[in-house]
Chains A and B, each alone.
Chain A
Amino acid sequence: MTARFAKGDRVRVRDAHPPGHVRTPSFIRGHNGVITRVIGEFANPEELAYGRDGRPEIPLYWVEFRQTELWSGYAGQAQDTAVVDIFEHWLEPAEGDTP
Chain B
Amino acid sequence: MSTETHGHGHGDGHRHEHPSQPDLEDQPVGYYQVMTEALGEVLIDKGVITADELRQQVEWQDSRAPVFGAKLIARAWVDPDFKERLLEDVNGAAAELDIDAGDIPIRAVENTGQVHNVIVCTLCSCYPRSLIGLPPDWYKSRAYRSRTVREPRAVLAEFGTEIGDDMEVRVHDSTADLRYLVMPMRPAGSEDMGEDELADLVGRDSMIGVALARSPGE
Residues 5-40 (chain A) with a chain B CB within 8 angstroms? 23-25, 27, 39
Using a Cβ–Cβ cut-off of 8 Å, how many residues does chain A contribute to the interface with B? 25
Number of residue pairs A-B, CB distance < 8 angstroms: 72
B151 interface residue, CB < 8 Å from A? yes
Cα A67 to Cα B169 in complex, Å, equals 9
Q: A23-B123, A23-B176 are in contact. Are A81 and B168 (CB under 8 A)?
A: yes
Name the residue on B nearest A64 (C-beta): B170
Residues of chain B with a CB closer than 8 A to A87's CB: 176
- Taking the nearest CB of chain A, how far is it from the CB of B39, in angstroms? 14
B173 interface residue, CB < 8 Å from A? yes
Residues of chain B with a CB closer than 8 A to A64's CB: 170
Q: A27-B122, A77-B168 are in contact. Are A83 and B177 (CB under 8 A)?
A: no
B149 interface residue, CB < 8 Å from A? yes
Cα A76 to Cα B169 in complex, Å, equals 9
Cα A23 to Cα B123 in complex, Å, equals 7
- Taking the nearest CB of chain A, how far is it from the CB of B208, in angstroms? 15
Q: A27-B122, A45-B176, A86-B175 are in contact. Are A81 and B149 (CB under 8 A)?
A: no
Q: Which of A74, A75, A77, A83 contacts B173 (CB 8 A)?
A: A83
Are A60 and B176 closer than 8 Å at their CB atoms? yes
Cα A98 to Cα B125 in complex, Å, equals 36
B153 interface residue, CB < 8 Å from A? yes
B150 interface residue, CB < 8 Å from A? yes
Are A77 and B170 closer than 8 Å at their CB atoms? no
Residues 161-216 (chain B) with a chain A CB within 8 angstroms? 165-178
Are B165 and A85 closer than 8 Å at their CB atoms? no
Cα A87 to Cα B165 in complex, Å, equals 32
Residues of chain A with a CB closer than 8 A to B166's CB: 77
Cα A71 to Cα B171 in complex, Å, equals 14
Residues of chain B with a CB closer than 8 A to A75's CB: 151, 153-154
Can you name 23 A-B residue pairings with CB atoms under 8 Å?
A23-B123, A23-B175, A25-B149, A25-B175, A27-B150, A39-B178, A42-B176, A67-B169, A67-B171, A71-B150, A76-B151, A76-B153, A77-B165, A77-B169, A80-B152, A80-B153, A81-B168, A81-B169, A81-B170, A82-B149, A82-B170, A83-B173, A85-B174
- Residues of B that sit less than 8 Å from A by CB: 122-123, 149-154, 165-178
- Residues of A that sit less than 8 Å from B by CB: 23-25, 27, 39, 42, 45, 60, 64, 67, 70-71, 74-77, 79-87
